[in-house]
Amino acid sequence: AALRCFCYGSLFTSVTWTLLLFIYFNFNEESQGFRHVPVKGLEPYKPFPRKISPGFTRDSNKGHGHRPLDNQGEAKADLSAELGMIFNEQDENVRDVGYQKHAFNMLISNRLGYHREVPDTRDSKCKKKTYSAALPRASIVICFYNEAFSALLRTVHSVLDRTPPELLQEILLVDDNSELDDLKKDLEIYIKENLTKKVKLVRNRHREGLIRGRMIGASHATGDVLVFLDSHCEVNEMWLQPLLAPIKENHKTVVCPVIDIISADTMIYSSSPVVRGGFNWGLHFKWDPVPVSDLGGPEGFTAPFRSPTMAGGLFAMDREYFNTLGKYDGGMDIWGGENLEISFRIWMCGGSLLIVPCSRVGHIFRKRRPYGSPGGHDTMAHNSLRLAHVWMDEYKEQYLAVRPELRNKDYGDISDRLALRKRLNCKSFKWYLDNVYPEMQVSGPNAKAPPVFVNKGMKRPKILQRGRLMNMQTNRCLAAQGHPSQKGGLVVVKECDFTDKEQTWTYNEEHELILSNLLCLDMSETRSSDPPRLMKCHGSGGSQQWVFGKHNRLYQVSVGQCLKLLDVTSHKGYVTMAICDGSPSQQWHLDN
């Protein structure tokens, strides 16, 4: 949840370069600029270019100045509208299956292809930094289980496209016994036919989970430094050098890039605020603001700073050091907890963990994990118990106070890990709290602490329009079927009542439609045939992002369809989402 909270507000603050060019080339002739989405609904879809066209420079510093940069929010919504548009049942199927299997919009991911430009989200001072040519070589380890083919390949290609070959020892793809056909068959062929020999595929014969999966990847690695990435990332300009430099200086320094946000609904890449890692006594990772005393120094805000924990997916570490520090706890299964375990271990056993603001890597943050664990076990609890018993000394009571039901739960044999702690002569957890994370409140369990909003730029989105949302075929107005404060409630068209505040919609710059200042009009991610509902506003676009387009259509960005009055003659007034066709039942007007 913390990950999603800080997305708020930052999603709409930057624009992908690709997007600008796309809009520039496609819409520039239109005198109305960006305000209207051109109707392409009835034309065959032109797939987004799969290869970067010649002359399309990779140096994103060039040329920014003369591109149109105004109306960014509008332009972005238009692009995802374009890319997410459903034209037929097949598109609908790709979208729906994608959400089921991957919890993100696979239709857009597929249309983006394997290469794309991403906005250079680094601070401008980063762009002036130079790095020694003699840096250690990196082995990139990417572990995946049932990943969407296009997302995996975009991860791999982004590394190949944006990493100097002399720094890239290899890319190790660890298939954690995926069941999807394309991963089982096409991937091997694709690698053989299209990719350099540096890309190697390792297949697990059994599902191991990401923790043992990464250990397997690391055991095959031959580079000086291990770099771990999730299988749905896109690395940014000059991402690797700033990670390697501090490791070269001190091999006990472990580093993380800033994890930028790729929206699960729109695939829009946007900049993350610079924050550091923490945790709560429920042993959930969270983001915290960086204490001012830790920022700055001679390098200003671009200098690496200390972080008590890492998010887990994206980090670089000297390979020898990874091994001597005890890799990971091989008794941990599938998902969860390993990030806190390795963070505590790094700090307590003589290393340090830094976040490097000049290195940026995008990651698709999704609302739910689309896979389970074999046997349906809660691996997060199992793994957290292990780490609490190995590393947290008397402070494990803080965790058990939050999770009393786990007190007598079996967590397997930890003697190897305890021996490791002894052998490495690691410090106490109290030392860690006092010296690395003094902000942590120890007095009582505080697992339910409200998420910290750290995005400096966060503000209430500006209201663009307010009024009734009228269906133009019937001149009736969209309203809540029940009470507008009821979460999950349906919306229907009713007789317009201009005195009724409960029929008032606000439309804001985040493209949200909010009824009666309470809830947002939201489209379920699971099935595009479900009707829209009123849900708590989440502020991260996608399922709550609506665009008014040509022919008065009301387009929903994450489903790729338009709002339609279902049966004009019925007094029930049900609405649904349908392929955009410009018909009167799909025409809506927001006005006083």
Q: Which residues bind ligand UD2 (CB under 6 A)?
A: 143-145, 147, 176, 207, 209-210, 213, 230-231, 259, 311-314, 334-336, 338-339, 363, 369
Of residues 74, 47, 88, 73, the one with CA closest to residue 580: 88
Among 96, 175, 230, 333, binds Mn ion (CB under 5 A): 230
Three-state secondary-structure class, residue 591: strand
Nearest distance in Å: CB 374, ligand UD2: 9
Nearest distance in Å: CB 174, ligand UD2: 7
Angle (CA) 458-459-464 rounded to 5° is 130
Nearest distance in Å: CB 529, ligand UD2: 27
Work out what residue 259 binds among ligand UD2, Mn ion, none; the CB cut-off runs from 5 to 8 Å by kind: ligand UD2
How far apart are the C-alpha atoms of 350 and 327, rounded to whole Å? 15
Work out what residue 314 binds among Mn ion, ligand UD2, none; the CB cut-off runs from 5 to 8 Å by kind: ligand UD2
Nearest distance in Å: CB 354, ligand UD2: 16
Contacts of residue 423, Cβ cutoff 8 Å, sequence gap at least 6: none
Kind of pairing, strands 138-144 and 168-175? parallel
How far apart are the C-alpha atoms of 546 and 234, rounded to whole Å? 26
Beta strand extents in 78-231 (DSSP E only): 138-144, 168-175, 199-203, 225-229
Largest CA-CA distance found in the chain, in angstroms, rounded? 78
Cβ-based nearer residue to ligand UD2, 92 or 230: 230
Work out what residue 338 binds among ligand UD2, Mn ion, none; the CB cut-off runs from 5 to 8 Å by kind: ligand UD2
Nearest distance in Å: CB 339, ligand UD2: 5
How far apart are the C-alpha atoms of 290 and 308, rounded to whole Å? 10
CB atoms within 10 A of CB 155: 28
Nearest distance in Å: CB 132, ligand UD2: 28
Work out what residue 217 binds among Mn ion, ligand UD2, none; the CB cut-off runs from 5 to 8 Å by kind: none
Nearest distance in Å: CB 230, ligand UD2: 4
In the bound state, the residue with its beta carbon closest to ligand UD2 is 312
22-57 CB burial, b ≥16 within 10 A, e <16? bbeeebeeeeeebebbeebbeeeeeebeeebeeeee
Site string for Mn ion, 14-53 (x = CB under 5 A): ----------------------------------------
What letter does residue 8 receive in the DSSP assignment?
T
Q: Which stretch binds Mn ion (CB under 5 A): 96-104, 166-174, 227-235, 422-430?
A: 227-235
CB atoms within 10 A of CB 281: 24
Work out what residue 311 binds among ligand UD2, Mn ion, none; the CB cut-off runs from 5 to 8 Å by kind: ligand UD2
Cβ-based nearer residue to Mn ion, 79 or 268: 268
Site string for Mn ion, 143-182 (x = CB under 5 A): ----------------------------------------
Cβ-based nearer residue to Mn ion, 34 or 104: 104
In the bound state, the residue with its beta carbon closest to Mn ion is 230
How far apart are the C-alpha atoms of 455 and 9, rounded to whole Å? 8
Cβ-based nearer residue to ligand UD2, 279 or 555: 279
Do 232 and 331 contact (CB within 8 A), yes or no?
no
How far apart are the C-alpha atoms of 504 and 500, rounded to whole Å? 7
Residues of the shown chain interacting with Mn ion in the complex, contacts defined by CB under 5 A: 230
